[in-house]
C-alpha cells in the first residue's frame, strides 16, 4: 500500500487537479462573478436581500415558466426548499407564479414582468460587472472566453 500523502502534499495535488479542470474553473468563476454582482446590489429598504441561493435558481427558469417540482429536480433540492426561495423571490418582485396552461391545478414560476424587477434589469447589472472584468483582464480575453463558452454550450445542450 502506498504511503499516505502529507496534508501539504495532498492540498497541492488537489489544487493542481482543480486548476487543470475547466469545469472546476467555470464553477469557481461563476461563484465569484455571482458574489461580485450580489455585493454590488444596493440593500433593500425592507424585505429579504438577494442571496446566492436565490440566483442559483435563475438559470433553471424558462421564460414561459417552470414548475416548482422541476426546479427542485434541476437544483437537486427538496420542493419545500425551492418553495421557500420562490416565496422570497416573489416577495422581492423578481419572479411570479402564473397558471400552467397545460394543467389548471399547477403553477409555473417565471421571471417577473413588473418594471424594475425583470430579467433584463438583472442582465444589465451583469453587463456592468462584465464591463469591470473587461477593464481588468482585457476585451480579447473576455471575447475569447465568450466564444469558447458559446461553443461549449452548443455541445452540452445537444446532449
Q: What pLDDT score was predicted for residue 95?
A: 93
In percent, how much of the chain has pLDDT > 70? Answer: 98
Domain that holds residue 139: 22-41+48-158
Instruction: Identify whether 153 is part of a domain.
Output: yes
What is the overall mean pLDDT for the chain? Answer: 91
Positive or negative: CA dihedral 109, 84, 55, 31: negative
Instruction: Identify whether 142 is part of a domain.
Output: yes
Residues linked to residue 103 through DSSP beta bridges, in sequence order: 100
Q: What pLDDT score was predicted for residue 133?
A: 96
Instruction: Identify whether 3 is part of a domain.
Output: no
Question: Is 94 within 8 Å of 62 (Cβ atoms)?
Answer: no
Buried b (16+ CB within 10 A) or exposed e, 22-40: eeeeeeeeeeeebeebbee
Q: What is the CATH number of the domain that holds 90?
A: 1.10.10.10
pTM across the whole model: 0.81
> Side-chain half-sphere of 125: how many Cα atoms within 13 Å?
18
Interval 84-125: pLDDT, tens: 999 999 988 899 999 999 998 999 999 998 876 678 888 899
Is the per-residue pLDDT at 6 higher than 90?
A: no
Cell digits for 42? 444596493
Instruction: Identify whether 6 is part of a domain.
Output: no
Instruction: Identify whether 11 is part of a domain.
Output: no
Question: Is 98 within 8 Å of 65 (Cβ atoms)?
Answer: yes
Instruction: Identify whether 4 is part of a domain.
Output: no
Question: Is 47 within 8 Å of 89 (Cβ atoms)?
Answer: no
Instruction: Identify whether 62 is part of a domain.
Output: yes
Question: Is 109 within 8 Å of 88 (Cβ atoms)?
Answer: no
In percent, how much of the chain has pLDDT > 90? Answer: 69
Residues linked to residue 96 through DSSP beta bridges, in sequence order: 110
Instruction: Identify whether 12 is part of a domain.
Output: no
Q: What pLDDT score was predicted for residue 132?
A: 95
Cα separation, 81 vs 72, in Å, equals: 8
Number of independent structural domains in the chain: 1
Amino acid at each position: 500500500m502506498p504511503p499516505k500523502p502529507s496534508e501539504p502534499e495532498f492540498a497541492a495535488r488537489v489544487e493542481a487537479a482543480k486548476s487543470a479542470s475547466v469545469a472546476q474553473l467555470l464553477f469557481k468563476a461563476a461563484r465569484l462573478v455571482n458574489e461580485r454582482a450580489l455585493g454590488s446590489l444596493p440593500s433593500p429598504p425592507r424585505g429579504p436581500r438577494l442571496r446566492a441561493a436565490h440566483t442559483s435558481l435563475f438559470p433553471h427558469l424558462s421564460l414561459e415558466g417552470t414548475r416548482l417540482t422541476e426546479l427542485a429536480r434541476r437544483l437537486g433540492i427538496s420542493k419545500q426548499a425551492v418553495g421557500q426561495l420562490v416565496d422570497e423571490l416573489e416577495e422581492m418582485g423578481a419572479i411570479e407564479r402564473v397558471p400552467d396552461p397545460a394543467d389548471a391545478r399547477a403553477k409555473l414560476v417565471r421571471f417577473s414582468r413588473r418594471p424594475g424587477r425583470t430579467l433584463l434589469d438583472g442582465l444589465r447589472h451583469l453587463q456592468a460587472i462584465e464591463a469591470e472584468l473587461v477593464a481588468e483582464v482585457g476585451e480579447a480575453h473576455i471575447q475569447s472566453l465568450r466564444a469558447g463558452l458559446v461553443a461549449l454550450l452548443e455541445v452540452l445542450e445537444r446532449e
